[in-house]
Amino acid sequence: MEGTERENSTLPVDEYISHQRGMYESLHRKSLDNPEEFWNEHGNIVDWYSKWDRVLDDSNAPFYRWFLNGKMNVSYNALDRHVRSHRRNKAAYIWVGESGTEKIVTYHGLLKRVNAFAKALLDAGLKKGDRIAIYLPMIIEAPVAMLAAARIGVPFTLVFSGFGANSLAERIRDCGAKVIVTADGGNRAGKVIDLKKIVDEAVDQTSTVTEIIVVRNTGNPVDMVEGRDFWYDEVTKEQNAYVEPERMDSNDPLYILYTSGTTGKPKGVVHGNGGYSVWIANTLKWAFNPQEDDRWWCAADIGWVTGHSYIVFAPLILGLTSIMYEGAITYPEPDRMWDIIEKYGVNLLYTSPTAIRLLMRYGDAYPAKHDLSSLRVLGTVGEPINPAAWHWYFKTIGKSKCPIVDTYWQTETGGFIISPAIELGLGSLKPGSATFPLPGIDPVILDEQGNETPSNQKGFIAIRKPWPGMMISLNNDPERYKSVYFSKYPGKYFNGDYAMKDSDGYYWLLGRADEVMKVSGHRIGTIEIEDALVSFPEIAEAAVFSKPDEVKGEAIVAFVIPKHGVAHGRELTEKLKKGIRETMGPILIPDEIHYVHTVPKTRSGKIMRRVLKAVYTDQLPGDISTLENEASVNEIREAIETLRKEVGR
Ligand code: PRX
């Protein structure tokens, strides 16, 4: 992959320079110089029951509170207000199933479903502040459950349906979910995933769940436990129910989304109601400039923040029509995505570099079979996009007339933070650069000591000021929130990424600076997989790192030390892979497992993953002093020599 190659020339997309770039610049400046005035105006993108007293309360930093004492409800903003307008019968979702089935759900229809399910949640005994877990595939009931929970003030955690039973159980335990919403199965590449069975296994490891609500999706037979398990269609029988939306405080939690960090335990990122809604709605508008009749397709999974913010909340708050697709983008043929774009006239497409690289591999003949002329803007998210994929997306899919909106952000940031902004005047693009910070974002590139790096020099990206979409805390762990994000550079948000600002002021995101990998755009902690490997009785120690991969961006490599006397080979590898699939989920399965006698460690016992990666990917020799700050250069040299002998490099 040409991930590191950069182009310095800019690429103008003339048709889209609809405003002067100056508009962006003055708005960005205003947002930083006068945030009170800026957000007093932009906070009105959502409707409030009562307005805020103050835009920002930073008296208890870094626990920033936005739109202090403002009262609103996200489901009201996503539904009721549109149903009272010309959008009542507009499609909120055009849902497409893997087998080609299609469902159109209007704003009015969605509100009815949400009310019926909100009533079911109240009937289950839930009260404002209780928590639920949602473990659903890409079906309409997923946004329905999220909006119903938001309506009654019950924070939810939606767990990606590709996670296994242990991962699900850990999340249920951490958030104390009382109810779980799941389905009899999910469809993926022609196979049915038995979600209910995974939920049953997870619930056995937890103590808070009193009710499981099961959507009939695949018709897969499932075991139902009397008094605990209920069918979704039976609990939502009251089709004309109306549940008054709770008046939520701007800073009440809306949801908890677990994401990987540098320890084995995932972090429960908590997003609030008010600031989050304001941020995601504004950022979608600034970046993509969606029009009333557009069809927006965010082709992510609802289980990740991209799906939360830009399949569910932001497009609904803006009253857009979204495409939602349950299934694999290459099923039944590699032109599934192009087929959906043609069939439904998609105008704005938002997907990952991994998806682009995967589809690019199948060649130009597949997109050539389809009329893609409805496309106006192409977006990417989740990982750096390499120039080859950028150009293919731009030329072959966008016919050189659609700008590429490369959005940089994280679970913690709530929405885009660095991205081209079409509504604010798109300047010139540089393939592989996410361009400039959006209004409200004040980034800086720092070296290890906290000094600003000169242009064109790699450093760590930090953000100097809070913004409305940022998480409000980590669930059950405010100390970890402070130490992970605000201790490296006191007073600044540090997010674990390398970046560089070039001499024209463009930002280039250069990958994770910590023990986190981006595999097919999924964020995975090396330590999570190590913990899973050492939980097998055969394994003494494990070290996990990533290597570059042409399609997935990064692939997972595991070095494992089997216990004394354990026979290792293909059989053990299969056992480890199968076990990880079941407990953690398929996305965490290592692509390669190697058996070794030792892994390099520092004197304090930390595995030197960077050294492993460097040796394995032949990046050495170089400046090894930067590889591991805690280890002496001699230690590293010794470790490298031993490792080279082991892996024969
Ligand atoms: O390393 C950055 C990378 O994805 C990380 C955040 O992952 P997650 O919380 O799962 O959210 C993904 C969806 C927003 C970041 O720390 N990343 C995200 N977008 C980009 C990116 N790297 C480069 N370019 C991007 N556009």
pLDDT tens-digit readout, 171-182: 999 999 999 999
Domain total for the chain?
Answer: 1
The amino acid that residue 558 corresponds to is: A
Query: Is 647 a residue whose pLDDT tops 80?
Result: no
Residue 627 in any domain: the answer is yes
Atom 22 in ligand 1: which residue has the minimum CA distance? 383
Separation of alpha carbons 501 and 507, rounded Å:
5
Average pLDDT for 613-637: 59
* pTM summary value: 0.93
pLDDT of residue 54: 98
Atom of ligand 1 nearest to the CA of 409: 14
Q: Contact at 8 Å (CB) between 131 and 176?
A: yes
Q: Which residues of 112-124 are buried (b: 16+ CB within 10 A; e: fewer)?
A: bbbbbbbbbbbeb
Residue 619 in any domain: the answer is yes
DSSP 11: B
15 confidence band (pLDDT: 50, 70, 90): very low
pLDDT tens digits, one per residue of 288-325: 999 999 999 999 999 999 999 999 999 999 999 999 99
Average model confidence (pLDDT) across the chain: 92
Tell how far the Cα of 518 is from the centroid of ligand 1, in angstroms. Answer: 8
601 confidence band (pLDDT: 50, 70, 90): confident
Ligand 1 probe mutation, 410, 413, 419, 498, most atoms within 8 A of CB: 410
612 confidence band (pLDDT: 50, 70, 90): confident
Ligand 1 probe mutation, 276, 509, 524, 552, most atoms within 8 A of CB: 509
pLDDT tens digits, one per residue of 523-537: 999 999 999 999 999
**Percent composition of the chain: helix, strand, coil (DSSP 3-state, to 5):** 35, 25, 45
Tell how far the Cα of 517 is from the centroid of ligand 1, in angstroms. Answer: 10
Domain residue limits at 634: 520-647
Residue 481 in any domain: the answer is no
Average pLDDT for 248-263: 95
Tell how far the Cα of 408 is from the centroid of ligand 1, in angstroms. Answer: 6
CATH number of the domain enclosing 535 = 3.30.300.30
Q: Is the dihedral of CA 482, 484, 486, 488 positive or negative?
A: positive
Query: Is 369 a residue whose pLDDT tops 70?
Result: yes
pLDDT above 70 covers a percentage of the chain that reads 92
Atom 13 in ligand 1: which residue has the minimum CA distance? 382
Atom 5 in ligand 1: which residue has the minimum CA distance? 410
Higher pLDDT, 618 or 527: 527
Residue 555 in any domain: the answer is yes
Tell how far the Cα of 511 is from the centroid of ligand 1, in angstroms. Answer: 8
CB atoms within 10 A of CB 628: 22
Residue 562 in any domain: the answer is yes
Least confident of 124-128, 293-297, 620-624: 620-624
Distances (CA, A) of 84 to 247, 346, 618: 19, 26, 62
Residue 544 in any domain: the answer is yes
pLDDT of residue 17: 45
607 confidence band (pLDDT: 50, 70, 90): confident
pLDDT of residue 19: 44
Query: Is 214 a residue whose pLDDT tops 80?
Result: yes
Separation of alpha carbons 288 and 438, rounded Å:
12
Residue 553 in any domain: the answer is yes
Q: Contact at 8 Å (CB) between 403 and 390?
A: no
Residue 616 in any domain: the answer is yes
Atom 6 in ligand 1: which residue has the minimum CA distance? 410
Average pLDDT for 137-166: 97
Ligand 1 probe mutation, 381, 485, 588, most atoms within 8 A of CB: 381
Give the pairing of strands 592-595 and 553-562: parallel
User: Which residues have CB under 6 Å of ligand 1?
Assistant: 259, 304-306, 381-384, 406-411, 434, 495-497, 509, 512, 518, 523
pLDDT of residue 16: 46
Tokens representing 154? 């019950």
Query: Is 636 a residue whose pLDDT tops 70?
Result: no
Tell how far the Cα of 162 is from the centroid of ligand 1, in angstroms. Answer: 19
